[in-house]
Amino acid sequence: MTPLAINLIILTVLVLFVISIYNRLVQLRVRAKEALSDIDVQLKRRYDLIPNLVETVAGYLKHERTVLENVTQARALVAGAAGNPLERNNAEATLSNTLKTLFAVAENYPDLKANANFLDLQRELADTENKIQAARRFYNGNVRDLNTAVETFPSNILAGMFKFSKMEFFQLEEGEAREPVKVSF
C-alpha cells in the first residue's frame, strides 16, 4: 500500500468518527428537547383538566368561593407564564398548591367525594401528576446523557467546535412544590 492510500484510509476513518460523534450529539440534543416538550404536554393536560374540576366542585362549594377563585387565578398565572416549562416552575408550584387546598376543602363535602364526575377528575388529575413526574425524570435522563457527551473526551472537542452546550436539569426550587399534589378522598 502506498502512503497516499494509507493517508486516505486514516482520513476516511477520522471523518467517519467525527460524523458519528456529531450525529450522536445531535440525537441527544433532540431527545432532550423532545423530553422537555413531553413535560409541556402533560402540564397542558393538567391545565385542561382544571376547568372541569372547578365546574364539578363549584356546585358543592358555594361557601368556598375563595378556593375556587384561587385555583382559577393560579391556572391563569400558568397560562400567562412566559418561556419554557423550566421557567414556569413558580407558576406550576402555585397551581399545585391551590389544587392541594381545593382537595383539602373538598374533604368536608361527603356528597362531593362520592360524585362520579369528581372521582373521575380526581383520578385523571392524579394520573396526570404521575405522568408529569415521569416526563420530568425522562427529560433529566436525556439531559444527563447529553451533558455527559458534551463533557467527556473526545466528544467534548466536537461539542465545543459545533457549539453544543449543556442543558439544565429540571428541578423545583420551592420546598412545597417538591411534594406531589395529594388527591386523597
Q: Would 159 be classed as within a structural domain?
A: yes
Q: Would 10 be classed as within a structural domain?
A: no
The total of structural domains in the chain comes to: 1
Q: Would 27 be classed as within a structural domain?
A: no
Q: Would 24 be classed as within a structural domain?
A: no
**What interhelical angle do 89-106 and 3-58 show, nearest 10?**
30
Residue 170's pLDDT is what?
A: 82
Q: Would 26 be classed as within a structural domain?
A: no
Q: What is the CATH number of the domain that holds 99?
A: 1.20.1440.20
Q: Would 149 be classed as within a structural domain?
A: yes
C-alpha cell at 155: 466528544
User: Could you write out the DSSP letters of every residue in 45-98?
Assistant: HHHHHHHHHHHHHHTT-TT-HHHHHHHHHHHHHHHH--S-GGGGHHHHHHHHHH
H-helix or E-strand spanning residue 18? helix 3-58
Q: Would 6 be classed as within a structural domain?
A: no
Q: Compute the chain's Rg from CA coordinates.
A: 24
Residue 56's pLDDT is what?
A: 77
| Dist CA 84 CA 81 (whole Å) | 9
Q: Would 183 be classed as within a structural domain?
A: no
Note down the domain range covering 123.
Answer: 33-174
Tens-digit pLDDT string for the chain (185 aa): 899 999 999 999 999 999 999 999 999 999 999 998 898 888 888 888 888 888 877 776 666 778 888 888 888 888 777 666 666 777 787 888 888 888 877 777 777 766 777 788 888 888 988 998 899 999 999 999 999 999 999 999 999 999 999 999 887 665 545 555 554 43
